[in-house]
Amino acid sequence: MSQKFDVIVIGAGPGGYVAAIKAAQLGLKTACIEKYQDKSGKLALGGTCLNVGCMPSKALLDSSWKYHEAQADFAVHGIDVKDVAIDVPAMIGRKDTIVKNLIGGIAGLFKANGVTTIEGHGKLLANKQVEVTAADGTVQVYQAENVIIAAGSQPIDIPPAPVDQDVIVDSTGALDFQAVPKRLGVIGAGVIGLELGSVWARLGAEVTVIEAQDKFLSAVDEQVAKEALKIFAKQKLDIRLGARVTGSEVKDGEVTVNFTDAKGEQHMTFDKLIVAVGRRPVTNNVLSADSGVTIDERGFIFVDDICATSVPGVYAVGDVVRGPMLAHKASEEGIMVAERIAGNKAQVNYDLIPSVIYTHPEIAGVGQTEQQLKGDGVAINVGVFPFAASGRAMAANDTAGFVKIIADAETDRVLGVHVIGPSAAELVQQGAIAMEFGSSAEDLGLMVFSHPTLSEALHEAALAVNGKAIHIANRKKR
């Protein structure tokens, strides 16, 4: 096998594997280096997202939601189910099968597109050489015309709660509990804390979430975050804001966490504790001292708008660079870089990256929040439509939350779409499409939406921006 490639990608997560497939499709001789192994020691492509992130967590969110519905929501439909029970190892086994199939899918795509998979740890050397160290310690050096670093991220550890993957776990360990913990502590009320906290709360765990910030979900639209906090309280997620963890002690299979909040010093004991305080880029040991690629003090690789590093021909995408740590952002950066290497024009619209928290109801948004726009002094009109007024949501017995559309007061152009409610992720994507085409709220209001659908809530929110909603009383004059 030749040791020279047009493109070598380091990392086969959603940034790396997508970049590799695209580069190969564009006729470039491409290799992708990955070292991650599954529990049986077999190479597992797909990165955090497929192995221990987005996909396994969604499998558990769906399983636990079905259990919750069977237990708590079926009766309202007149469905009587008795003795609903959860078999946790079976639920975990289903999740593992989904992960296995997805990983196999990427291996198949690599084969179909002619991407060479190189197993081992990749490290960028000087002059676009890439060193690969296999699990048995063998070292090979490859030469590339272009290198794409897509090494991803890993959970941040905090000294007061060191992860042992037994009693104190990170997001990976929390996907493999073999029984429902009676008392579950979660440090961090971010995306992971809320998603994994929800999984185990639905299955019966008493969940306490300890969050350092006073403000809940500070990056989310404030009106949405406020609604979410109310809904989660009803779901008995005990969210402690302004709570700083000072220490923890593991003893006899349980953990006591010490934290301080507005009430003073607190101590709580849990059967399991999930630490979900953010992730950091994996960039140490991926760049040799003479690679020429520069990183900031937090370990992120410096890149420009098109993900080019300080070394010509070396790019970096996904969680190792600035911007939100989201799989879809990484994939789009991977596509952009592959296209650029092939000599085509491509770019990512960083203003329109949707984000989703897969709780129930889901929380999703695209564009700017009301607080951002007001902070920037932009005059806006806001339309809100509650799912409580949606016939489709009523039929589904799923009426919590609302759709919120924010438009520029002068031009009517949609600047933000924020949803908390059923299928929020899918509804926000409609907003993203509209915004990508420069839609005004009026444009959205003039479109025909199928009836009855949840999407009608988006239609009505767009109409409400200019005081023209039909199925709620309008606050503004027409």
Ligand X SMILES: NC(=O)c1ccc[n+]([C@@H]2O[C@H](COP(=O)([O-])OP(=O)(O)OC[C@H]3O[C@@H](n4cnc5c(N)ncnc54)[C@H](O)[C@@H]3O)[C@@H](O)[C@H]2O)c1
Burial class of residue 181 in the structure, from the number of CB atoms within 10 Å of its CB (0-12 exposed, 13-18 middle, 19+ buried): buried
Pairing of strands 264-270, 116-119: unpaired
CB of 327 to ligand X, least distance (A): 7
Return the residues of window 300-319 that contact ligand X according to CB under 6 A.
none
Identity of residue 73: D
Helix (H) or strand (E) holding 465: helix 456-465
Tell which one of 21, 191, 338, 393 touches ligand X (CB under 6 A): 191
Q: Which is nearer to ligand X, 105 or 247 (CB)?
A: 247
Q: Does 458 bind ligand X (CB under 6 A)?
A: no
Q: Of 121, 451, 459, 471, which is the active-site residue?
A: 451
Q: Which is nearer to ligand X, 196 or 407 (CB)?
A: 196
Catalytic residue flag (residue 451): yes
Tell which one of 22, 35, 279, 404 touches ligand X (CB under 6 A): 279
Nearest to 219 by CA among 111, 340, 353, 339: 353
Tell which one of 25, 117, 154, 213 touches ligand X (CB under 6 A): 213
Q: Which is nearer to ligand X, 205 or 277 (CB)?
A: 277
* φ, ψ of residue 34 in degrees (nearest 5): -145, 145
Q: Does 400 bind ligand X (CB under 6 A)?
A: no
CB of 447 to ligand X, least distance (A): 28
Tell which one of 181, 188, 383, 386 touches ligand X (CB under 6 A): 188
Does 188 show up as a binding residue in the annotation? yes
Helix (H) or strand (E) holding 314: strand 314-316
Q: Using DSSP, state whether 134 is helix, strand or coil.
A: coil
Structure-derived torsion over alpha carbons of residues 465, 469, 471, 473, reported in degrees to the nearest 10: 80
Q: Does 278 bind ligand X (CB under 6 A)?
A: yes
CB of 366 to ligand X, least distance (A): 13
Applying CB under 6 A, the span of 59-67, 99-107, 190-198, 439-447 interacting with ligand X comes to 190-198
DSSP string of 71-128? IIIGGGGT----S----HHHHHHHHHHHHHHHHHHHHHHHHHHTPEEEESEEEE-GGG
Nearest to 291 by CA among 7, 281, 283: 283
In contact, 200 and 88? CB cutoff 8 Å: no
Q: Does 277 bind ligand X (CB under 6 A)?
A: yes
CB of 158 to ligand X, least distance (A): 5
> Mind spelling out the 3-state secondary structure of 409-424?
CCCCEEEEEEEEECCH
How many angstroms separate the CA atoms of 207 and 88, rounded?
17
Angle subtended at Cα 189 by Cα 353 and Cα 331, rounded to the nearest 5 degrees = 25
Give residue 343's region: left, alpha or beta (phi > 0; psi -120 to 50): left
The pair of structure tokens assigned to 4 is: 């020279």
The pair of structure tokens assigned to 272 is: 């399991």
Does 247 show up as a binding residue in the annotation? no
Tell which one of 19, 50, 118, 210 touches ligand X (CB under 6 A): 210
Tell which one of 124, 174, 257, 276 touches ligand X (CB under 6 A): 276
């078999």: which residue's tokens? Answer: 87
Does 19 show up as a binding residue in the annotation? no
How many angstroms separate the CA atoms of 301 and 315, rounded?
9
Q: Does 45 bind ligand X (CB under 6 A)?
A: no
Tell which one of 46, 181, 190, 367 touches ligand X (CB under 6 A): 190
Q: Which is nearer to ligand X, 230 or 244 (CB)?
A: 244
Q: Using DSSP, state whether 349 is helix, strand or coil.
A: coil
Identity of residue 298: R
CB of 472 to ligand X, least distance (A): 29
Q: Does 211 bind ligand X (CB under 6 A)?
A: yes
Return the residues of window 235-254 that contact ligand X according to CB under 6 A.
244-245
Does 433 show up as a binding residue in the annotation? no
Tell which one of 50, 357, 444, 457 touches ligand X (CB under 6 A): 357
The pair of structure tokens assigned to 262 is: 């507005």
CB of 470 to ligand X, least distance (A): 33
Does 190 show up as a binding residue in the annotation? yes
CB of 209 to ligand X, least distance (A): 9
Tell which one of 185, 193, 365, 386 touches ligand X (CB under 6 A): 193
In contact, 432 and 354? CB cutoff 8 Å: yes
Q: Which is nearer to ligand X, 197 or 416 (CB)?
A: 197
Return the residue nearest ligand X (CB atom).
190
Annotated binding site for FAD: 58, 122, 319, 325-328
Catalytic residues: 451
Annotated binding site: 58, 122, 188-195, 211, 278, 319, 325-328
Interface residues toward ligand X, by CB under 6 A: 158, 187-193, 195, 210-213, 244-245, 276-279, 324-326, 355-358
